[in-house]
Structure formats: structure tokens, C-alpha cells
Amino acid sequence: MTEQQTSGSRLDASKPDRSDDRAADTAPQTPRTPFNPQQVHPVQWTGRLEFDLTDSRGWRVGTIEVVVRIDTVTLWYGNRTLAVMHRESFKHWLMRPVVPFEFDDVVWFMQGTTTCLTIDGANSYAVPDPIVDHLFAVA
């Protein structure tokens, strides 16, 4: 190989394969975006919660599964979807549960200081306080 063929090649020891340091110093730098804390979104909790439904005698009649996603809160009863609620709307109701919150086949309401839900307009069940507290904290 001739000098001309190997010039600029990584095998050419006479010229190291790196840019000139002076060129790097004079190259325009990309401007940095200023940090704006209002644009930072806090990490939202997503996950599943379960609680048992009990009748007036205290007998367990089933289990509700609450699936919290980024934008929705879904209630399941066995393999049946009871409600797919907008997370932000549900959060507002939890903060001020003045009027019942009806969504799909479920109505959330307050009975004194107890949070309750009604399924299909038929039976009403108390939602355990630890579940309500957790939903309030993460919604």
C-alpha cells in the first residue's frame, strides 16, 4: 500500500484517529434547555389493589380488584369489568366526595364517614378505609 492509500486509515500510526482538540473547542455547543420544574411530572403510582365485599352480616360475597393505570382506574369483579374511570375525575371525587360519583356499573358515595360503592344499582358495600386512604394518596 502506498502512503496515500493508508492516509486517514485507523492502521496509519502517523495520524491518530481523533479530531483536532482545537476544532472541538471552537465548535458551537448545543444550547442547553433551562430546567423548568413545572414541566417535570411526578412519577404516578400504578398497580393493583384488592378488597373483599361483605354483606350486612359480614359474610364475604366477592372480591373487587382495583387496577390503577396512568390515566384510568378500573374495577373488576371476578372476570367482569365494572367500571373504567378517568383517574383525574376519580381523584377529584376522592378529594371532595360531596355528590355520588357514578361511572359505568358503579356508584361511589359517602354514608357518613364511610366510603361505599353500589354495583348495578342493587347492593351497596363499604370500601375499607385503608383502600380508600391508599387510593386517595396515589390517585
Q: How far apart are CA 108 and CA 94, in angstroms?
A: 9
In a domain, 110, yes or no: no
Position 53 in a domain: yes
Q: Is residue 41 part of a domain?
A: no
Residue 93 lies in a domain: yes
Relative to beta strand 114-119, strand 72-77 is unpaired
Q: Is 85 inside a domain boundary?
A: yes
The whole-number pLDDT of residue 115 equals 97
Cα 71 to Cα 13, 85, 91, 109: the distances in Å are: 59, 9, 11, 22
Asked if residue 70 is part of any domain, the answer here is: yes
pLDDT at position 29, please? Answer: 55
Map grid coordinates 390515566 to a residue. Answer: 71
* Residue 72: inside a domain: yes
For the chain, how many structural domains are there in total?
Answer: 1
94 within a domain of the structure (yes/no) = yes
Write out pLDDT tens, residues 99-115: 999 999 999 999 999 99
As averages over each run of 10 residues, the pLDDT of the chain (139 residues) reads 49 50 53 55 82 92 96 95 96 95 97 95 94 91
Determine the 3-state secondary structure of 110 from DSSP. Answer: strand
Could you tell me which residues come within 8 angstroms of residue 108 by beta carbon, excluding any fewer than 6 positions away? 93, 97, 100, 101, 102, 115, 116, 117, 127
Which structural domain range is residue 52 located in? 47-98+128-138
